Amino acid sequence: MIEQYRWQGGFPKIGIRPTIDGRRRGVRESLEEKTMTMARNVAEFFSSTLRNPDGSPVECVIADTCIGGVAEASAAAKKFAKENVGLSVTVTPCWCYGTETMDMDASIPQAVWGFNGTERPGAVYLAAVLAGYAQKGIPAFGIYGHDVQDLADNSIPQDVQEKLLAFAKSGLAVANLRGKSYLSMGSVSMGIAGSVVNETFFQDYLGMRNEYVDMSEFVRRMDEVIYDTAEYEKALAWVKEYCKEGPDNNEPEGQKSREAKDKDWETVVKMALIARDLMIGNPRLAELGFEEEANGHNAIASGFQGQRQWTDHFPNGDFMEAMLNSSFDWNGIRSPYIVATENDSLNGVTMLFGYLLTHSAQIFADVRTYWSPDAVKRVTGYTLEGKAAEGIIHLINSGAAALDGSGEQTQNGQPVMKPHWEITQDEADNCLAATSWRPASTGYFRGGGFSSDFLTKGGMPVTMARINLVKGLGPVLQIAEGYTVDLPEAVHDALDKRTDPTWPTTWFTPVLTGEGSFKTVYDVMDNWGANHGVLSYGHVGADLITLASMLRIPVNMHNVPEEKIYRPKVWGLHGTSDKEGADYRACQNFGPLYK
């Protein structure tokens, strides 16, 4: 019931705009069927390929008629507004009247596919309308097939498919952000700048609003029993069966009694229920007489301050964060929630980007330590090899990473992190079995609690990313594609025990280019902009770059091959020899999407 309630607002749709040469008495009539067929084929391609966060097919809306002039363009715009269209793709096989047929909605991402055929000048329209978009200050993406097609060929070439998907995935992410909330549960954690929530960033760049609750709201809801008690009992029984408790590393005088630990389990389970209800609401609360609380905060992401005002007295938020960020819980397999530890809203947004692009859970971590090959050799006697040969980065945080990050889901025999609709119950059970819940270090967490402890399997392609804010510049995004790596057990133990072995560990190595920030692994670590980072499954740096360009967020470092980068056509008019500089200039020129 709660999952159905979660997505009650529906999902944005993709608008398809078939544009046509408006000249009647033979020209337009000869092109109607071809143009509308292009539109239908693109709509079918999207709906058969793309999924919404709940796993349902993405819906498309096609203009009622081909668009040959401003009246039909206006009619399509009205239909799109009524149908919750969040991005639009214009398609055409021919010349059209550019400024008369273009989509003038500057608040949504725009793309144009101009058919590469010799019979009619679709490429000429594409160039003309993109020039119009540039002149009017609406960055649009151009799509032009590499090879000439015959006019009767209604297929979508592979290179066109790739650009359509790159645009649509990022455009849907933009549209899914708009109108949602980021919920701060608490305030600033230990002086971490990312937990100083910047409303201007959320409003101007993401189209989101900010919501706030004090952490005392958790105490109120626990004391006044503002949660579903039946679900609580179900969740607690599930925890006792599937969440195995690990060894207590605290000194004997710092260890809690069995009775106190059992009480902590009850508290952290209630915290997970309450945090979820604060984010999205819960119709069950209305049935219990709590109509206001039942509404939630329409939050697509949240953050929990925890340290230290909460954790000096109450159990930590690790279980709450780890389970909500995972793709399963006591109610079964479901889409992950996005909860940032220490209320690091900038890492929370980066998690949100990764989730909306991949639909899989995200790993929140400290970018803790760079281990050079020499340092590993000195400490353990082991010589790093394979993908780890140039050095590794230790990603570890206090137990809030999604359990999917254990790598216990598989595809073709390899560890992966899947969208929830592809995860089997056995895979969810394996993630749970690979995780132990360690009594929290009372040096860090005086109030106790439990931290998840797992080791990420090596061999997964992943992308590390992070948004940072710079005074006078605004947000910037950094990206590092790489791989998780395995270490021999003794080597892992030796390195892991130098930090806190009760927390989940991921050994990460970036793909090096030999230049700039990616000359060495040390350079990646040295150029990272904050203490936190996010790991998304897959090499999705190109998608992140496309998404960032839609939101006007420049990218300050990445190791994505140039041929994979896809930005609005007008970015090239800001310079072609210095593409990183052109990205900064374009983002500054056009400004935030919603400002």
pLDDT in tens, 456-508: 999 999 999 999 999 999 999 999 999 999 999 999 999 999 998 899 999 99
Asked if 457 contacts 486 with a C-beta cutoff of 8 angstroms, the reply is: yes
User: Which residue's entry shows tokens 């803790």?
Assistant: 368
Positions marked catalytic: 342, 366
Cα gap 113→133, rounded to integer Å: 14
Q: Just give the CATH number of 2-177.
A: 3.40.50.1070
| pLDDT computed for residue 24 by the predictor | 94
512 DSSP assignment: P
| Average pLDDT along the chain, 595 residues, taken 10 residues at a time | 80 98 94 97 98 97 98 98 98 95 97 90 91 97 94 94 98 97 97 97 98 98 98 98 96 94 98 98 97 97 97 97 98 97 98 98 97 98 98 92 98 97 98 97 93 97 98 98 98 94 96 97 98 98 98 98 97 95 98 95
Specify which residues 27 forms β-bridges with: none
Looking at residue 307, its pLDDT comes to 94
User: Which regions of the chain carry the CATH code 3.20.14.10?
Assistant: 181-590
Question: Tokens representing 438?
Answer: 């360690």
Domain with CATH 3.40.50.1070 in the chain: 2-177
Nearest alpha carbon to residue 136 among 125, 128, 144 = 128
> According to the 3-state scheme, what is the secondary structure of 160-209?
HHHHHHHHHHHHHHHHHHCCCEEEEECCCCCCCHHHCCCHHHHHHHHCCE
**Third-level CATH fold of 181-590:** L-fucose Isomerase; Chain A, domain 3 (3.20.14)
Number of Cβ atoms within 10 Å of the Cβ of 76: 27
Q: What angle do CA 353, 481, 372 make, to 5 degrees?
A: 130
| CA end-to-end distance (rounded Å), the chain | 37
> CA-CA distance, 112 to 91, in Å (whole number)?
6
pLDDT, residue 298, reads 96
Q: Evaluate whether 125 touches 100 at the Cβ level (below 8 Å).
A: no
pTM: 0.97
